[in-house]
Amino acid sequence: MMNNYINNRAMMLRTIKSLLFIITLAFFMQSCEDRLDLQPEDERLTADSAFEDPAAYEQFLAKIYAGISLSGQQGPAGAPDLAGLDEGFSNYLRLYWKMQELTTDEAIIGWNDGTIQDLHGQVWTSGNEFIRTMYTRLMYQVTLCNEFLRQTTDDKLDSRGVEASLRTEIQTYRAEARFMRALTYWHAMDLFANPPFVTEDDPTGAFLPEQIQRADLFDFIETELLDILDDMVAPRQNEYGRADRAAAQMVLAKIYLNAEVYTGASRYADVITQINNIIGEGYTIPQIPYYHSFLADNDSNGAQDEVIFTIPFDGLRTQAFGGMTFLVHAPVGGTMDPADFGINGGWFGVRTTPTFVDQFSLDDFDPAVATSAIGPLSDWGLIGSGTPNGWDGPDIPMAEIDTNVYQGYITFIDGEMKFRFNNDWSLNYGLDPSSTNPNALSQDGPNIPVMAGTYKVTLDLNTLIYSIDSVDGRELLYTDGQNKDIEEVGPFNQGYAVAKYRNVDVDGNPGSDASGDHTDIDFPMFRLADAYLMYAEAVLRGGGGSTSTAVDYINEIRQRAYGNTGGNISESDLTLDFIIDERSRELFFEAHRRTDLIRFGEFSDQGIWQWKGNVPQGTTTDSFRDLMPIPATDLGINTNLTQNPGY
């Protein structure tokens, strides 16, 4: 009985235990399934949690602007936006610059990175990874803008309870996002003609975007830009670094100027309209040396007065191996002193062709006439074996341009010279060996060596300093140790070097990054000189406007370049041939050249420069190269795409 009881009890206990066990297991399995819904726990956020923070909208807009200057979420490299190519190479500005410059007479690069040399050789294929990454970067930038527009619809803002003042601001942000998208679509239209087309109405994920035809894309860009003009902040009123209405008008003017290329129909009158809108807003050509516009302090040294849309960089806060870091380092090499460029060393890559160098040739320039034009001739002059009259004289006279400041143009031969008063040695200046300034002068000092060429010579008796400058201040070439002709693509000393962008301020102090890697120079994407030249070109192409106004605009630019009126032109000089050359002189290395050459019909089947066509002396190429190929990769993935003709 007792045993039975115990047994029963034991059995019951076991049964209860078993039941409990099974219930526990079932409960356990249930709780496991819930644990498969995981969300990020670090700094990554889901869209809904990200936009709980009102600042997120501005930060997202900042990402769209950073899309041009930076390459990812960690400066200078790390967490890249694009993974298909080295991060530094994938930067928007760097790639766009390469497309616009390396393909032309303005720039050649000696590096061995994949297919990079095919750009200058104009033998690229649809497999070129630089063209591919440009294309990818452009479309990435578009999807960023689209996502911004999706996240800032009224419905979304309502659902997140965004307060009214922020909502007003977000409307401006949306206009800027649409501007940035239009800007990028313009680049895509210009380079690839018929890119894939996506807007905020498309989803994100696995779908195949449709291809748009160039003329339709033109209409889209135009409509978008006209539509947002009222929502954009008034010119020069927005925060530095952000786009305003004038920037949008500039893109409109750009597409109108090239409309014949893009759509077959010219729109030059619209160019005049848009440029007039911009010019009326108070931008000026600052009368400071041209090179100041490309220095580390070009956001504050006066150069900013001209700038319509800037891409800001900062040596410490805005770091990338693309953008200005590339544009300063890559053209430095040979005997160039990195300290002059505010950097730790050159990358021995980019040089220019003799064709560009010759844009500065002074065939019709008479130094004596030019000297007379800049001020009354004085008794101060130049004497020496380097001067046309040799040591026997008489002196080559200089004009007085300010109190005790004399200036004159002269064509030197290799030799030496001194400054002399009134054809007599009693008052003469040579070098001052006791000074650390190599341009200091002293009475009876040693002769000054000079190199052959035509120069502007300035003598400042207030400070006893002299200078020998290019006649045209835009001729920022470096020739020491460099061969003018390019016999080989690789070595840096083949072709003159270009010293345009320098990470020092007007006083020569280096930029904020003490390690000398990254630079403070802001990239002037659009500036007034470009607008002036566009105006003049539109006038010449029959868009209306005034020829004399055009000449005044050009002379404003040239007065900055020459430092005086010595380079001014007259109406008869204003021709389309002059415009294309003047654009190169004024805007070289600013990512305009390819578009300009195509508009003038001189990019592919016309126009020859060294190594074009991949031969040393250059040759023409097929006209289909006016368009870049749709990358083979995307053609392989997206069956909606058709390749551009010729590829």
Binding to another protein (CB under 8 A) within 509-538 occurs at 513-516, 518
Contact call for residue 305 and another protein (CB under 8 A):
no
Segment contacting another protein (CB under 8 A): 52-60, 216-224, 275-283, 384-392?
Answer: 52-60
Shortest Cβ 563–another protein spacing (Å): 28
How far are the Cα atoms of 255, 365, 455 from residue 569, in angstroms, in the given order? 28, 12, 19
Task: Collect all residues with Cβ–Cβ distance below 8 Å to 549 and sequence separation of at least 6.
Answer: 535, 539
Among 6, 12, 47, 576, binds another protein (CB under 8 A): 47
Q: For residue 397, is the peptide bond before it cis, meaning its omega torsion is within 30 degrees of 0? A: no
Q: In whole angstroms, what is the distance from residue 216 CA to residue 205 CA? A: 25
In terms of Cα–Cα distance, which of 113, 172, 116, 114 is closest to 148?
Answer: 172
Contacts of 523 (CB under 8 A, 6+ apart): 69, 93, 310, 311, 313, 323, 324, 327
Query: Least distance (Å) from another protein to the CB of residue 239?
Result: 3
Element (H, E) at 481: none
Angstrom distance (rounded) from CA 162 to CA 348: 51
- 88 near another protein, rule: CB under 8 A: yes
Out of 346, 543, 607, 618, the only residue in the binding site for another protein (CB under 8 A) is 346
Piece of the chain touching another protein by CB under 8 A; list 99-107, 214-222, 224-232, 489-497: 489-497
Instruction: Tell me: does residue 69 bind another protein (CB under 8 A).
Output: yes
Part in contact with another protein (CB under 8 A); list of ranges 39-47, 225-233, 350-358, 361-369:
39-47
CB of 161 to another protein, least distance (A): 19
Task: Report the distance separating Cα 43 and Cα 56, nearest Å.
Answer: 13
Interacting positions 324-343 with another protein (CB under 8 A): 333, 338
**Contact flag: residue 491 with another protein (CB under 8 A):** yes
Tell me whether residue 270 or residue 505 sits nearer to another protein (CB atom). Answer: 505
> What would the x/- binding string for another protein be over residues 175 to 214, using CB under 8 A?
--------------------xxxx---x-xxxxxx-----
- Residue that the structure tokens 């003047």 belong to: 582
**166 sits near another protein (criterion: CB under 8 A):** no
Closer residue to another protein, CB minimum distance, 26 or 576: 26
Among residues 54, 114, 393, 453, the one that binds another protein under rule CB under 8 A: 114
CB of 84 or CB of 415, closer to another protein = 84
Which DSSP letter does residue 209 get?
A: P
- Residue 451 in the binding site for another protein (CB under 8 A): no
529 burial type by CB count under 10 A (0-12 exposed, 13-18 middle, 19+ buried): buried
42 binds another protein (CB under 8 A): yes
Which secondary-structure segment (H or E) carries 52?
Answer: none
Q: Applying CB under 8 A, does 18 fall inside the site for another protein?
A: yes
Residues 234-273 that bind another protein (CB under 8 A): 238-242
State the Cα–Cα distance between residues 81 and 646, nearest whole angstrom: 31
Q: Is 91 in the site for another protein (CB under 8 A)?
A: no
Q: Which of 107, 119, 142, 162 binds another protein (CB under 8 A)?
A: 142
Tokens matching residue 240: 């530095």
Sole binder of another protein in the list 54, 147, 379, 559 (CB under 8 A): 147
Residues touching another protein, count (CB under 8 A): 123
CB of 306 to another protein, least distance (A): 18
Of the candidates 247, 275, 222, the residue with the CA atom closest to the CA atom of residue 533: 275
Query: Judged by CB under 8 A, which of 1, 36, 164, 265 binds another protein?
Result: 36
Nearest to 280 by CA among 525, 522, 535, 564: 535
> Considering beta carbons, is residue 333 or 384 the nearer one to another protein?
333
40 near another protein, rule: CB under 8 A: yes
CA 614 to chain centroid? 25
- DSSP character string of 66-83: HHHH-SBSSSSSSSBS--
Residues forming beta bridges with residue 310, ordered by sequence position = 524
SS (H, E, C) 574-642: CCHHHHHHHHHHHHCCCCCHHHHHHHCCCCCCCCCCCCHHHCCCCCCCCHHHHCCCCCHHHHHHCCCCC
Q: Which of 263, 274, 301, 319 binds another protein (CB under 8 A)?
A: 319
| Contact set for another protein, span 560-589 (CB under 8 A) | none
Residues 244, 238 contacting (CB under 8 angstroms): yes
224 binds another protein (CB under 8 A): no
SS3 state at 406: strand
- Our finding on whether 632 is near another protein (CB under 8 A) is yes
- The DSSP 8-state label assigned to residue 338 in this structure reads G
